[in-house]
A and B are shown apart, each in its own frame.
Chain A
Amino acid sequence: MSLLIKVEGLNKRYGNKHALKNVNFEINKGDPVALVGPNGAGKTTLFSILCGYIPYDSGNVSILGESPSIAAVNQTFSALPQDAQLDPKYSIESQLKFYAQLQGFSTKQSVIEAHKVLDMVGLEDNYKVKPLELSHGMRKRAAIAQSLIGSPQLVILDEATAGLDPKHAKDIREIISNLSNEITFVLSSHDLSELERLCDQVLYLENGELKEHQTLTSKDDFNYLTLRMKQHSDSFVKEVSMLPSVQNVSQLQGKEYLISYTQLDNTEPFDITFLKYCHKQNWIYSQLVNGKTLENQLF
């Protein structure tokens, strides 16, 4: 596995506020990585340091073995900075072409590259349009397009789908999913279900401190089922608790339940047993998650 990002003992203060406290983590080439945390946790500060936009007080940050500002110049990574906007005076094509030229593309190739990335985000009919003539969602997609110029090894996306309608948010998720074989994405978002779908590794920031979580691959999580029922049943918790292998059943919120169980040797897999039981009881469920949801892991 090749190491893409290495952060050691990172500290950043804004006056009296300790925005990042001794943050340590590594990101290797591979599946998308999520960075989550409540507002003010330090996500954007961390992203800004990774991109070389703001200086840090102490610690080490390296991207592919280089400092962030040098890694940016070497075009080994790209990013979608939160709230950054393209220049309203020029067409998105001319700006992306300019960025491609800065990345070493010739004048002719830069036009092709600009068109390629705009096509990828569904803006093929808007090459000549200026940013202010686009909707908020389209502007966001144009900003995502700039991060894909030149096929970087690593792309950092800060709130990539914030403000997008469900269809275009889905399109962006599909783009990330499709490109994740070639590009390692680091994503921040408040939409945990989105991150859960895309990411394997989760970095959780709270009050400037980092807690690392593994989703799906964590062995503990295979002993949980998260179930969302269509209808509420008063006896659900009591009856499921009676099933063999079940350790505990707890109601999370509304019609959502967390079932912990132990898989007994030489017996039918518990999820099959459970689904048969649901069918027998005529319980209709809307979603079954193998493990805890990211939301339940973090909060």
Chain B
Amino acid sequence: MLSHFSSSRVWTITLFELARLFASKRGLIVLAAFSCLWFLIFTYIIGSAAEFITSESFKALAQQAFGKLNLLALLEWELPELSVYWIISAYLLPTFAILFSCDQTCSDRERGTLRFILLRTSRPELLYGRFLGQVLILAILIFITLIASLLFSLLNEQTVSFGSLSLSFSILLKLIIISLPFIAGMTLINVFVKSAKMSLIVYFLIYIGSAIIINLMTRFVMDLSFLFYLFPGEQIESVVGFESNYVNNYIIPLTQTVVYLALAQFIFKRSSL
């Protein structure tokens, strides 16, 4: 079967995913909403928060507060805008990842369009092509907002050094890795739901429902908190301090991604269209 896996077909599907967002009316509306939201974030949160962080009165308080949250390293950053951007993005982008990737295969399957596509490509190729397309879309959006954040720093009459550029690349990479299991989770849910709305409902039901059950079990029966690692985003709190912890930074999200995708492929290969 592996010999029938074509990376060029996967890439063709990935590129068509970009067109699905950037060249369709619906995609452009989503992008406009995304841009407006980030405009507000830059104007009212990043700008004022960055100013606040650099003030002397905040620094003493921040030493204590950020220390408890393991965020001290962020105070050392040359550009405070980047610190604020990183914290906001680390928590906000998973939501965007879920919203952008909620319709990977479900509506096409329901409409029958997948039947046309699967006359020309294998199911794994389609699944991975669509997944990579969503990753690429999110990577582009992160890149754009990161550039905007650097431009914002320039507008605030700060200089952007090579160190800040290197840090920006590191932020881009980390944000993509944080988002991967969220997108892969949607890939998995998409193989058995019928619509984008339903995929969001199922996602949140699983997420919130499991959290409640695990918490209750942990409190009254036995410690099952390790089960939280089955769900994406468990490590974000540890990652946001920008420490060099490979398990939290890479191994947990990448393992979750691989497991979700393998499950999605297993189910999708056996499902009826």
Chain A positions within 8 Å of B4 at CB level? 70, 73-74
Q: Is the CB of A86 within 8 A of B118?
A: no
A53-B272, A54-B272, A98-B16 known; A90-B118 Cβ under 8 A: no
Q: Is the CB of B113 within 8 A of A89?
A: no
Q: Is the CB of B117 within 8 A of A99?
A: yes
> Is A101 in the interface zone, CB < 8 Å from B?
yes
In the complex, the chain A residue whose C-beta lies closest to that of B9 is: A102
> Is B44 in the interface zone, CB < 8 Å from A?
no
> Is B78 in the interface zone, CB < 8 Å from A?
no
Chain A positions within 8 Å of B113 at CB level? 84-87
A54-B272, A89-B26, A90-B24 known; A102-B115 Cβ under 8 A: no
Q: Is the CB of A53 within 8 A of B121?
A: no
Q: Tell me, in angstroms, the Cα distance from A147 to B115 when the chains sit together.
A: 11
Q: Is the CB of B26 within 8 A of A69?
A: no
Q: Is the CB of A102 within 8 A of B121?
A: yes
Which residues of chain A (97-136) have a CB below 8 Å from chain B?
A: 98-99, 101-103
In the complex, the chain A residue whose C-beta lies closest to that of B4 is: A73
> Is A146 in the interface zone, CB < 8 Å from B?
yes
Give the shortest distance, in Å, between B116 (CB) and chain A (any CB): 6
Q: Tell me, in angstroms, the Cα distance from A83 to B24 when the chains sit together.
A: 24
Chain A positions within 8 Å of B9 at CB level? 102
> Is B119 in the interface zone, CB < 8 Å from A?
yes
Q: Is the CB of A81 within 8 A of B112?
A: yes
Q: Is the CB of A89 within 8 A of B270?
A: no
A87-B111, A102-B12 known; A55-B270 Cβ under 8 A: yes
Q: Tell me, in angstroms, the Cα distance from A70 to B4 when the chains sit together.
A: 7
Chain B positions within 8 Å of A78 at CB level? 119
Chain B positions within 8 Å of A248 at CB level? none
Chain B positions within 8 Å of A98 at CB level? 12, 16
Q: Is the CB of A89 within 8 A of B25?
A: yes
Q: Is the CB of B116 within 8 A of A89?
A: no
Q: Is the CB of B12 within 8 A of A72?
A: no
Bits for A33-56, please: 1 = Cβ < 8 Å to B, else 0.
Answer: 000000000000000100111110
> Is B70 in the interface zone, CB < 8 Å from A?
no
Bits for B107-136, please: 1 = Cβ < 8 Å to A, else 0.
Answer: 010011101111111110100000000000
Chain A positions within 8 Å of B125 at CB level? 73
Q: Is the CB of B122 within 8 A of A73?
A: yes
Give the shortest distance, in Å, between B130 (CB) and chain A (any CB): 13
Chain A positions within 8 Å of B272 at CB level? 48, 53-55
A89-B20, A89-B26 known; A69-B122 Cβ under 8 A: yes
Q: Tell me, in angstroms, the Cα distance from A70 to B120 when the chains sit together.
A: 10
> Is A28 in the interface zone, CB < 8 Å from B?
no
Q: Is the CB of A99 within 8 A of B116?
A: yes
Q: Tell me, in angstroms, the Cα distance from A98 to B25 when the chains sit together.
A: 18
Chain B positions within 8 Å of A95 at CB level? 116
A89-B20, A89-B24, A102-B12 known; A53-B115 Cβ under 8 A: yes
> Is B13 in the interface zone, CB < 8 Å from A?
yes
Q: Tell me, in angstroms, the Cα distance from A103 to B12 when the chains sit together.
A: 10
Which residues of chain B (1-22) have a CB below 8 Å from chain A?
A: 1, 4, 6, 9, 12-13, 16, 19-20
In the complex, the chain B residue whose C-beta lies closest to that of A66 is: B4
Give the shortest distance, in Å, between A151 (CB) and chain B (any CB): 14
Give the shortest distance, in Å, between B269 (CB) and chain A (any CB): 9
Give the shortest distance, in Å, between B5 (CB) and chain A (any CB): 9
Chain A positions within 8 Å of B13 at CB level? 102
Q: Is the CB of B117 within 8 A of A102?
A: yes
> Is A79 in the interface zone, CB < 8 Å from B?
yes
> Is B65 in the interface zone, CB < 8 Å from A?
no
Contact of B273 among A53, A85, A90 (CB under 8 A): A53
Contact of A72 among B108, B120, B270 (CB under 8 A): B120
Q: Tell me, in angstroms, the Cα distance from A90 to B21 when the chains sit together.
A: 11
Give the shortest distance, in Å, between B271 (CB) and chain A (any CB): 9
Chain B positions within 8 Å of A24 at CB level? none
Q: Is the CB of A53 within 8 A of B16?
A: no
Chain B positions within 8 Å of A81 at CB level? 112, 115-116
Chain A positions within 8 Å of B108 at CB level? 87
Chain B positions within 8 Å of A102 at CB level? 9, 12-13, 117, 120-121
A54-B273, A89-B25 known; A99-B120 Cβ under 8 A: yes
Supply 27 A–B pairs (Cβ within 8 Å), ascending by A.
A48-B272, A51-B118, A52-B118, A53-B272, A54-B272, A69-B118, A69-B123, A72-B119, A72-B120, A72-B122, A73-B4, A73-B120, A74-B4, A75-B120, A78-B119, A79-B115, A81-B115, A81-B116, A83-B112, A84-B112, A90-B19, A90-B24, A98-B16, A99-B116, A99-B117, A102-B9, A143-B116
Contacts A53-B118, A87-B108 given; 15 further ones with Cβ under 8 A?
Answer: A53-B272, A69-B122, A70-B1, A72-B118, A73-B6, A83-B112, A84-B112, A84-B113, A85-B111, A86-B113, A89-B20, A90-B19, A99-B116, A99-B120, A146-B116
